[in-house]
Amino acid sequence: MRMFLLIVFLFLVACIAFQAYRTYGHIRVARVLVAEAVPFEHGGSEGGKRILMVGDSTGAGVGAGAPEESLAGLVGKKYLGASIVNRSVSGARLLDVIEQLKKNDPKFFDLILVHVGGNDITHFTSHEEFRARLKSVLNLAQGKGTNVLVTSTGNMGTAPLLPPLSRPIFTHRTRKAREIFLAEITHAGNPNVRYTDLFRERDQDPFALQPKVYYAADSFHPSDAGYRDWFHLMSNELDAFAL
């Protein structure tokens, strides 16, 4: 019996060590991707639309093969001639996006894209703080732009970088964050403030079904295919704006 327990113990230690080594390897790759990412921006043409992008690493395009393949880059392809200002920073949470939106701008924006939430989920921002900070983000965005499109993150629990036992926790937190986004944007009561829902259950989520296709090399950020998938979902909301 003691020998059996020892074998089980050693097996568990080996599994934990392997997972820690694997996760550390993904984190090292993620650091490289963050360092290499260049947020897409565009000067635009005279009289063109003015677009502001604020958010975290996915707003900055971490994981994309080129800036043009990021969310901001895909927006630029949709609105040719638009000027795009991108203040997204890797690691940003809702509190950081508040600061991104507080910067002085000489003119109103035609469209503000807000992509945030993933880091609040993984860093366990309380639901109360999450809600209060999101309200501030929405208020600031409405004061700077005619149209506001808010997106958060897909199902965080599908990311292979995260230890398997933690993934149900992050799926639960993503669901809760989604509920807060939906409730607060509905409460805003502004038809020009819209939300793109990127959350899908595992059996319907391409990130879970084909992680090597939709996740970048760090197994955490979207790949080019992942960003195209998200942008496809965003396009329905973008088309609803009179741009």
Task: Read off the pLDDT of each residue in 186-201 and give the average, rounded to a whole number.
Answer: 93
At 98 the three-state DSSP class reads helix
Given a contact cutoff of 8 angstroms between Cβ atoms, the answer to whether 14 and 6 are in contact is no
- For residue 99, the model assigns a pLDDT of 96
Average pLDDT, the chain: 87
Indicate the DSSP class of residue 203. Answer: G
Dihedral over Cα of 156, 215, 89, 80: its sign: negative
The angle subtended at Cα 208 by Cα 204 and Cα 210, nearest 5°, is: 100
Work out whether strand 109-115 and strand 83-86 pair parallel, antiparallel, or are unpaired.
unpaired
- For residue 26, the model assigns a pLDDT of 54
* Model pLDDT for residues 61-72, shown as the tens digit of each residue: 999 999 999 999
Domains of the chain by residue range: 2-155+162-240
| Residue 106 predicted with pLDDT over 90 | no
At 24 the three-state DSSP class reads helix
* Model pLDDT for residues 141-157, shown as the tens digit of each residue: 999 999 999 998 899 99
- For residue 13, the model assigns a pLDDT of 43
Q: How far apart (Å, rounded) are the C-alpha atoms in residues 218 and 208?
A: 15
The percent of residues above 70 in pLDDT, for the chain, comes to: 86
Indicate the DSSP class of residue 39. Answer: -
The angle subtended at Cα 178 by Cα 140 and Cα 116, nearest 5°, is: 45
Q: How far apart (Å, rounded) are the C-alpha atoms in residues 113 and 84?
A: 10
Partnered with residue 109 across adjacent β-strands are: 145
* Model pLDDT for residues 9-25, shown as the tens digit of each residue: 444 444 444 455 455 55
For the CA atoms of 170, 55, 84, 218, the dihedral, rounded to the nearest 10 degrees, stands at -50
Indicate the DSSP class of residue 154. Answer: S
**Residue entry with tokens 């970088």:** 161
Q: How far apart (Å, rounded) are the C-alpha atoms in residues 4 and 47?
A: 75
CATH superfamily of 2-155+162-240: SGNH hydrolase (3.40.50.1110)
Given a contact cutoff of 8 angstroms between Cβ atoms, the answer to whether 83 and 44 are in contact is yes
CA distances from 208 to 45, 146, 155, 223 (A): 40, 35, 9, 13
- For residue 1, the model assigns a pLDDT of 60
The answer to pTM > 0.85 is: yes
Q: How far apart (Å, rounded) are the C-alpha atoms in residues 166 and 38?
A: 31
Partnered with residue 53 across adjacent β-strands are: 86, 113
Q: Which residue has the higher pLDDT, 227 or 27?
A: 227
